[in-house]
Amino acid sequence: MSTSITSGLRVLMLEDSALDAELNLRELKRGGMDLVSTRVQTKADFERALGEFGPSLILADFKLPSFNGAQALAIAKHRCPDLPVIIISGAVGEETAVELLKNGATDFVLKDRLGRLLPAVHRALREVGEREARRHAEEELRALNEQLEERITQRTRELGDKNALMEEDLNMARELQMAFLPQHFPTLPRGADEAASAVRFCSIYYPTSSVSGDFFNVVRVSETAVGVFVCDVMGHGVRAALVTAMMRTLEEQLGESAANPGKLLTDMNRALRGILRQLGTTLFTTACYVVVDVASGRLTYANAGHPSPLLVRRDTHEVEPITARRSAGPALGLIENVQYKTQERFVREGDLILAFTDGLFEVENANAEAFNQNRLRELIQRHVALPPPLLVRQVFGEIEHFAGGQAFPDDVCLVGMEIARLDAEAASEDLFSQPGESSSPMELV
């Protein structure tokens, strides 16, 4: 038994026999207990001692002339629920002893077996110590929980404020990025209504998060030519979105190369490599750039690791990639001093060119089956007779249906350019009707 429990023990004895009280104290002192005691015989003195004496242990005789241990037990448990009470009696029946223990007595000791008193007291005091330790631990745990809850509340509030600020920043970044996209498409001739333009455009831009790593732009190259630029930056989120802003800036700065797709991508790669070299990081973006001149019927293009745009011959319902197999260059930002080649094809009135990012066809269904490019071409072919804006929406809608409600894993950008009219004086129809004509792209030297 630890000293903290046995030293300074305050014993309240309810006992009408001075001799029995002395025997009880002698038994405890014989066990080495350092104690202070007081003896009472009446209910009034017992109740007074509970308050004034402040006992740490009660030894109660069961039978007294005007009071008994059962009554004392009830009073003690009402006023001091944790105070141990040991009933000491000369003769009590088993049923009475059991009833006393049920009502809260710590133990029951017969007067002719006082050898059990010391172990009973030790056990009672040990239980008190354990209860105190448990109560203290619970209080400490409760205090820690309160501190933790307060800290969690404070941290949650701080995170909420930071998240709100971040959300506000992301919303602004999204608005800025959307502002980078074409708000109005160019028309040919300049100033013509969209319905009367020789080229008409439609697009779908679908970021999978607040900001996107996809970007596209449509620019006027000359009075008879327009260009479509599409890029897809590695990764997602804010970093990719920042690079799209960089790509837009580079495209504007290198506008003098707009008429030559291969030169534009070559210059963009050189500039991007210079920036990434300073950052000391690996980053790349796939890109393609397509230029159509309605005066000559020429389609010129260059590709930097990007999915090939599709040329949709609406008069024959053919859908084919404009980029020849293995003719695309590497993605921008990966390799120094790459020379991207400008390739050439010819277009007819009514043709539709569709440029897109890989998020359009890499979506999977519930069976983890990718949509893929072959399915995309077949889907476009089924709806080739639709007006281009409706065709684009139909294609995107059916791919969403294929996904079965699952989110697109990547951003989606889809741009359509319809050749509504060619300049008949400048572009001879013979170019498309000569026997043996090849639809393969030609590389410009």
CATH code for the domain of 117: 3.40.50.2300
Residue 155 buriedness (CB in 10 A; 0-12 / 13-18 / 19+): exposed
CA 177 – CA 248 distance, rounded (Å): 10
Residue 273 CB neighbours (<10 A): 17
Judge if pTM exceeds 0.85.
Answer: no
User: Which residues lie across from 311 on neighbouring strands?
Assistant: 320, 353
Q: Which two tokens stand for residue 322?
A: 């404009």
Residue 38 buriedness (CB in 10 A; 0-12 / 13-18 / 19+): middle
Q: Does residue 154 lie in a domain region?
A: no
Rg of the chain, C-alpha, whole Å: 46
Q: Does residue 165 lie in a domain region?
A: no
Domain tally, the chain:
2
Which among 350, 224, 351, 348 has a CA at the least distance from the CA of 295?
A: 224
At 14-58, the pLDDT tens digits run 988 899 889 989 988 888 888 999 999 999 999 999 999 999 999
| Same domain as 21, residue 100 | yes
Q: Does residue 164 lie in a domain region?
A: no
Which of the listed residues 95, 112, 134 is the one where a domain comes to its end?
134
CA 214 – CA 229 distance, rounded (Å): 11
| Same domain as 239, residue 318 | yes
pLDDT of residue 360: 93
pLDDT of residue 253: 84
Only one residue has tokens 């009672």, namely 124
The CATH number of the domain holding residue 367 is 3.60.40.10
At 240-289, the pLDDT tens digits run 788 888 888 888 888 777 899 999 999 999 999 888 877 767 788 999 99
Which among 302, 292, 219 has a CA at the least distance from the CA of 256?
A: 219
> H or E stretch including 249?
helix 237-253
Q: Which domain holds residue 59?
A: 3-134
| Same domain as 349, residue 291 | yes
| Same domain as 215, residue 86 | no
Q: Does residue 151 lie in a domain region?
A: no
Give per-10-residue mean pLDDT for the chain (445 aa): 58 91 89 90 92 91 87 91 88 80 87 88 87 88 90 88 79 75 91 93 90 90 95 82 84 84 94 82 88 96 96 94 84 92 94 95 89 94 95 95 87 95 56 39 50
CA 21 – CA 18 distance, rounded (Å): 5
Q: How big is the CA angle at 236 (ends 233 and 237), to the nearest 5 degrees?
A: 120
Only one residue has tokens 């992301």, namely 170
